[in-house]
Each structure stands twice: as C-alpha cells, then as structure tokens.
Structure 1
Amino acid sequence: MIPDFVYRSANWTSKKAQSIAIQILASGPVPRHVGFVMDGNRRYARMHHQEVKAGHAEGYVALRRVLEICMQLNIRCVSVYGFSIENFKRSPQEVEDLLSLVEEKLLEICQHGDLLDQHGVRLNVVGNKSLFPPRLQEAARKAEEMTAKNDKAILNLCMPYTSRDEITTAVTDAVQEKLDEGSPFAEISEDDIDAHIMTNARGSPPLDILVRTSGVKRLSDYLLWQGCEDAQIQYTDGYWPDFGLWDFMPILLDYQRKMWSN
C-alpha cells in the first residue's frame, strides 16, 4: 500500500505545477471572452459504465474547475452551452434529469454562491427561459439576482439556447424598438441587432475563443453571431468531464501566439 504522504505530496506537486502554469499564461495576452461547448458528457458516462445523468453531473464538476482556472487567468467572461433548445428532443427521462440537475446547481448558487461571489462573477442565464418549467425559471431568476452586484467577471449560462433563436429574438426586439420610437419604416442596421444579442445586452465583451470538446467539429447553433468575426475556434478530443488546465493550455498558447503575430 502506498503511504498517504505520497498521495499528498503528489497532489501538492500537481497543484504547484498548475499554479506556475497559470502564472506563466497570465503574463501573456489573455482572452476577454471564452465560450465552451461542453460536449461528451454522455459518451463519458458510457465509457465509465455509468448512467447518462452521472455524466452530466461530472460535466458540472468540470464547469466549476474550468471557471476557477478562467478566473485565475483574469478572463473577463465565460459562456457555456448549458442546454440547447434542441435538447428537448431527447428522451423525456434525460430531459428531466438534465433539468433537475440545472435546478439543483442554480439553487446551490442561491444558497451559497461561493465560487461566483469569491471571484465577483455575475451569472447571466441566457436563452429562451420561457421554455423552462416555472420552477426552473424561478431558480434562474433567483440565481441571477443573487449575483447581480458582482462586477469583476461574467458567466453566461446559455440555456435553453440556440443562436437562431437568439438572432431571431434580437431582430424582433430591434424592430420593436424602432416602432416604439415612432419609426415604423426605419432601416434596421447590424448595430441595432448587435445591441440586442443576448450576451451583448448583458455586458459581455466580444468572443475571442470558442472551444468544443469531444473531438466533434461542429458549432451546434452556438454563439454564431458572436463568433462570426474574429473569434478563434478550437476543437479538442477529450470529453468535457475530463477537461482541465492541461487541455486548455495549448489553446491559450495558440491564442497568444496569434495575438503576438498580429
């Protein structure tokens, strides 16, 4: 049997190495806004012979880990794809498990938003929340309210969300704004729509990096407006529950290399 002090020593060494790596990364250009497609939870669960809901639960553990890393790097804004509108097409049991997990995590924030409060993070639940059951809408409202005064960083939890819905809503709101101003035939500009994009309206800076885990190379209707200009799109092979600093590090180094070469 390996003595406990060996495990403790290995854990300390690992944490020390991560701390040094974060300090080095933070000394270079740091993205203001990073988006994540947290893909691979279901495949992770199957690989470990677990129920699908266990994979989603591990995905939220990974989200906490990655958010901590981002805050240590002074990344201003993190957006994560928490629940797609398309997810409602999954089996009723998986949808219920997902919604229950989301509600549980939002209520945890309401009880003790430790990580968010510790780093001054404001939570935005971004999406068509009217599609959620009333209990989940209320949990989202409370969680946003609890963190509303935090002003150091932003976490956009995109759910239930698709870019098509976001852009459609932004166009509708821009048109309504013109009508309210008494200009029924006024031209709607790109800037008008941009001002009503949900993440922009909540104070998020432009998207710098979009990361998708699990090796799947598609955008899945996520942050399409935000990613249409200068955002760097990065794909990584590992499943989201396994994602950590050493997976994120080459993505950040590539971002810094491109920034330095401009």
Structure 2
Amino acid sequence: MPTFFEKLCYMVRRCIFYVLSIGPMPNHIAFIMDGNRRYANKRSLERGTGHRAGFSALISILRYCYEMGVKYVTIYAFSIDNFRRKPEEVQSTMDLMKEKIDELLKEQSFVNEYEVRLNFWGNHNLLNDPLRLSVEKAMRSTCHNTGPVLSVCVAYTSTDEIAHAIEMSCHEKRDLMKELHACGCKNDFFEEFDMQSVISVADFERHLYTSGCPDPDIVIRTSGETRLSNFLLLQSSFSHLQNPTPLWPDFSFSHLVWAILKYQRGHPYLQERSRRSKKME
C-alpha cells in the first residue's frame, strides 16, 4: 500500500510529465549504464555493490519512463568486451544478472505491473548456462505482454550484431537457392534470380537484433563519458546523444527530466536532418 508521501511524489511527477508532454516526447530511450564500479570504489564498497545500486537506479528510471509514456527502453548491460575482465568479476556479474532477471519475473515485479515485454539482444552462446536459461525464460514468459518494451543488451556489441545480420542474410539466400533447385526451376529463372539475390538493406535490417524496434530518440551515457562503446552504432545515427556527469547509480528523476528537456530543444534539428537523409535515399 503506497504511503501518503509516495502518492504525493507520484502526483508531482504526473504534473511534471504533463508539462513535458506539451513538447515532443521520446518514444525510445537507450541507456549506457556507466559508472557502477566507480560508484563502489569511491565509497570503498565491496565488489558488486555498485552493480546492485545500479539495478535499483534502473528500476526507478524504468518506472519514470513508463509513467511518462516512453514505449521502448534499451539498456547496455554487458558488452562482449567485458568478458576480458577478471574471471571472478565476470562470474559475479553473470550471477547478479541471473538473480535480477529472476526477480523481474516475480508476480509483484514492475514487469507484471506494467505488462513489460523483455528482449535480450546479443550473443547468448557466450553466456553461462544458468544465465542463458533465465534469459530464454524471461523472453518466453513476457512475449505476449502488451505494455512497454525493455531490451537488455547482454554479450552485445554493435559489430557482432552487424556480423550476425550479414551471416543470417547469407544463410537465408543460400537456403532459398536450395529450395528453388529442389523445385526444378529452369536455368533462365536462376539467371534472373541471381540479379536479385544480392543482399539488400531490407534483408540486412531484418536480421539485426533490433529488428522491429524503432531507433532510439535519445542515447544517454552516464558518468560524463562521450563514447558509444560499440552500442547501437547503426541505430543511433539521428539520436540525441547525451553524457550527463552522474554515475549510473546516482542518475535520478531530475536528471531524466533534464534529458527530456535537452532532447526537446534539439528535436527540430534532428528531425530535419533525418528528413533530409530519408529524402536522399
């Protein structure tokens, strides 16, 4: 049962979101959750404490996003490059992710409260068995949910996503050729087909992990870092890139509101650039 203070905070947030909604609102926000380890080191906390604090911050930010009507949120949880860290640190992170995914599937979690659909983008073959099973269960359990979409990039890099999309597109073309041969199609048909069998942009995009999800309107990397670190490189061409200074566990409601205001200020320029790009295609 919410307390009076919680109800009051909710009403204040609703008023702020109403004012924000007068301007253009983002449909998709992506977060690079940077600074969890630095947060723990600055406070001389035990290893893993920063990531737990980061998960608490994530749940709060997701609630704020869904309350304001953001339909898609994507988070960079674990890069393929992060596997180069110390084995015990990687294992600890894998265990924590499994624990938190299992928590998200509990009946009282915000996933069920908001009917959230969970995606996990990345090379799942790199995950250990317990985490991979939890990831598959989460996607299977929420695939029919009709609320907002939370996409978690784990064992992910944009270059791996591109390589995967090219590989799948090639397999698709090869399998189609085999089917046509089995059907006994004539040689002149194959000559015509060869002219059309080059992998198109549509073929490629259909096999991206992000297929079916709109490109992010805003990409936020906390801790003041300005690198994208191999995150959604293709999808962020016309995104509003922001690098607020707070470490991820310190990223709060006020920082999110400020991010929306900055996006609204830059929206006309981004919209014009996107329109010009589509006109040239």
CA RMSD between the two structures: 2.0
Are residues 1:25 and 2:20 paired? yes
Is 1:192 paired with 2:203?
A: yes
Structure 1 position 78 matched with structure 2 position 73: yes
Q: Which residue number in structure 2 is paired with residue 227 of structure 1?
A: 236
Q: In 2 relative to 1, CA 69–187 (structure 1 residues): closer, same or farther, beyond 3 Å?
A: same
Q: Do the aligned partners of 1:178 and 1:184 also contact (CA within 8 Å) in 2?
A: no
Q: Is the 8 A contact 1:110 1:142 kept in 2?
A: no
Q: Give the CA deviation at 1:260.
A: 5.0
Change (3 A) 1:131 1:11: same
Larger Rg: 2
**Contact in 1 for aligned 2:117/2:146 (Cα 8 Å):** yes
Residue 249 in structure 1 maps to residue 257 in structure 2:
yes
Q: Residues 184 and 128 (structure 1 numbering): CA distance in 2 closer, same or farther, change over 3 Å?
A: farther
Partners in 1 of 2:29 and 2:81 — Cα distance?
22
Q: Confirm or deny that 1:209 pairs with 2:218.
A: yes
Moved over 2 A (4+): 8-20, 109-114, 257-262
2:227 aligns with 218
Unaligned runs of 5+ in 2: 178-192, 273-281
Residue 111 of structure 1, CA deviation: 2.9
Residue of structure 2 aligned with 1:126, choices 121, 130, 149 = 121
CA deviations 1:60-118 (Å, max 9, x no partner) are 11111111011011111100001111111111121111101100011112333621122
Which TM-score applies when normalising by structure 2?
0.84
1:181 aligned to 2:176?
yes
Amino acid at match of 2:216: L
Q: Does the aligned pair in 1 maintain the 2:240–2:266 contact within 8 Å? A: no
- Equivalent of residue 53 in structure 1, options 40, 48, 54: 48
CA contact (8 A) 2:36 2:51 kept: yes
The Cα offsets for residues 6-63 of structure 1, whole Å up to 9 and x where unpaired, read as: xx98777655433322222234321111110000000111112102300001111111
Contact 2:223 2:244 in 1 (8 A): yes
Q: Which residue pairs with 1:101 in the alignment?
A: 96
Determine helix, strand or coil for the equivalent of 1:160. strand
Instruction: Kindly indicate whether residue 169 of structure 2 is the aligned counterpart of residue 161 of structure 1.
Output: no
Aligned residue identity for 2:125: S
Name the SS for the 1:176 alignment partner: helix
* Equivalent-residue separation in structure 2 for 1:83 and 1:184 (angstroms): 40
- Distance (whole Å) between structure 2 residues aligned to residue 22 and residue 97 of structure 1: 37
Scaled by the length of structure 1, the TM-score of the pair is 0.89
Q: Which amino acid aligns with 1:236?
A: P
Structure 1 spans left out of the alignment, 5+ residues = 1-7
2:256 counterpart letter in structure 1: F
Distance 1:90 1:116 in 2: 31
